[in-house]
Amino acid sequence: RFADVPEAPKDPILGISELFLADTSSDKMNLGVGAYRDDNGKPQVLKCVREAEKRIAGNFNMEYLPTNGFKDFIKHSLDLAYGEDSEAVKSGSIAAVQSLSGTGSCRLLAEFQKRFMPGCTVYISVPTWSNHHNIWRDAGCEQTTYRYYKESTRGLDFEGMMEDINNAPNGSMFLLHACAHNPTGVDPSAEQWREISKAMKAKNHFAFFDMAYQGFASGDCVRDAQSIRIFAEDGHKFALAQSFAKNMGLYGQRIGTVSVMCEDKAEAVRVESQLKVIARAMYSNPPMHGALIASTILGDPALKAQWYVEVKEMADRIITMRTLLRKHLEDSGSKLPWQHVTDQIGMFCYSGMAPEQVDKLRTDHHIYMTRNGRISMAGVTSGNVERLAKAMHEVTK
């Protein structure tokens, strides 16, 4: 019956984790998947998360959550993204459901787009997180790309991006990374976001922000939300995917929110009802534990303050590793420019290494990263950074 089913290619990110696990070397390094490690290379559970777990333990039953998720969690999540003084949140004109982290949020929105935005093409940055392409493909939406990254400057191709915004048919959807662009670590400045917002408004484009790294880019959750706050100020009606995988370290809990800004409360009620219909058929209702943890943290001022400290600590450790990686690369005698290692922000360094160089790192040095040259800086530690720099120099000279 399944004789003709071909074996699928490995996922460009999670496939690297599979190769890493199969490697028996004792000094192997996994810089593939974007998952935070402490300076000993160990997964980290935040103290605020452990405290929230203590408070939750024994206090909740195991019933189903409603299809749209845990109400308190959604409220805190929206406050965090849009700001506690957001008129849109206060007036109830944002449709929102708890979702299965970033991927699940994107998928719900893509399904919504397929049903209620017929003929609307989604524009996706070059490059982007590889799963974006899968999600919109499987939802059956038309997708195309817009320019984003300029190889020559290892920075933003702002002119190319603006041209593509201006040349897209009116009313197109643009998938934007709210902060800490994955994989490049290159973000528009506040001024550039304002121009992007203005251009998209003039074209009546619909923005969909994927925000997987709030707090992780700068260590400041308000600053990292500046793009969406600028769009809100400019009166856009946009959609937003929030993930708590990275910033709370809740990877396996699959916790996030998808929200759609609507004209008014009545419209939000209708949109939300359709998101629920989509979720019901896909997974019925979202898991509870992560929602309880996140809402316990966000709902308690002391725990929330502690979370801010911890998320900043993670962001700062990554910034320190960038400085060290650049220093060791320069000390190694490499003649290549490495300034982008410290210029880029967030979890990743878009190193500029070619796929064959990445392959050599894997085969000769047991260092694993995605073949587009993306390094998960979250896996770099004071113990392995020098070896990484030397190996990078080795394969790039």
Residue 169 or 355 with smaller CB distance to ligand LMR? 355
Paired tokens of 264: 């008014």
Confirm or reject binding of residue 128 to ligand LMR (CB under 6 A): no
Instruction: Give the active site residue among 157, 224, 246, 307.
Output: 246
Residue 34 — left, alpha, or beta (φ > 0 → left; ψ -120 to 50 → alpha)? beta
- Closer residue to ligand LMR (CB): 104 or 219: 104
Catalytic, 331? Answer no
Q: How many binding residues for ligand LMR (CB under 6 A)?
A: 6
Asked if 33 is part of the footprint of ligand LMR (rule: CB under 6 A), the reply reads yes
The DSSP symbol for 225 reads: G
For 89, phi and psi rounded to 5 degrees? -65, -45
Judged by DSSP in three states, 339 sits in helix
Question: Cα separations (Å) of 188 from 46, 74, 184, 193, 225?
Answer: 30, 28, 12, 6, 12
- Name the token pair of 199: 């251009």
Token digits for 218? 């700068």
Quick one: 139 or 303, whose CB is closer to ligand LMR? Answer: 139
Among 34, 69, 127, 249, binds ligand LMR (CB under 6 A): 34
**Catalytic residue list contains 210:** yes
Q: How far is the CB of 237 from ligand LMR (least distance, A)?
A: 27
Pairing, β 149-150 against β 29-30:
unpaired
**Active-site position among 164, 210, 224, 338:** 210
Contact string (CB under 6 A) for ligand LMR, positions 134-173, x = contact: ----------------------------------------
373 binds ligand LMR (CB under 6 A): no
Asked whether the bond before 127 is cis by omega within 30 degrees of 0, the reply is yes
CB of 86 to ligand LMR, least distance (A): 26
C-beta of 168 vs 286, nearer to ligand LMR: 286
CB of 128 to ligand LMR, least distance (A): 10
Nearest distance from residue 182's CB to ligand LMR, in Å? 5
* 22 to 15, 16, 215, 358, 388: CA distances (angstroms): 11, 10, 33, 17, 20
Number of Cβ within a 10 Å radius of residue 355: 11
Known active-site residue 201:
no
129 vs 231 by CB, closer to ligand LMR: 129
Distance of closest approach, residue 245 Cβ to ligand LMR, in angstroms? 7
Residues 267-306: x where in contact with ligand LMR by CB under 6 A, - otherwise, as a string: ----------------------------------------
Q: What is the DSSP string of 95-149?
A: EEEEESHHHHHHHHHHHHHHHHSTTPPEEEEES--HHHHHHHHHTT--EEEEE-E
- Residue position matching structure tokens 């894997």: 362
Q: Whole-number minimum distance, CB 367 to ligand LMR, in Å?
A: 16
Beta carbons within 8 Å of 114's beta carbon, 6+ residues apart: 139, 140, 141
Distance CA 98, CA 265 (A): 18
Q: Which residues are known catalytic residues?
A: 129, 210, 246
Q: Using CB under 6 A as the criterion, which residues of the chain lie in contact with ligand LMR when the complex forms?
A: 13, 33-34, 129, 131, 182
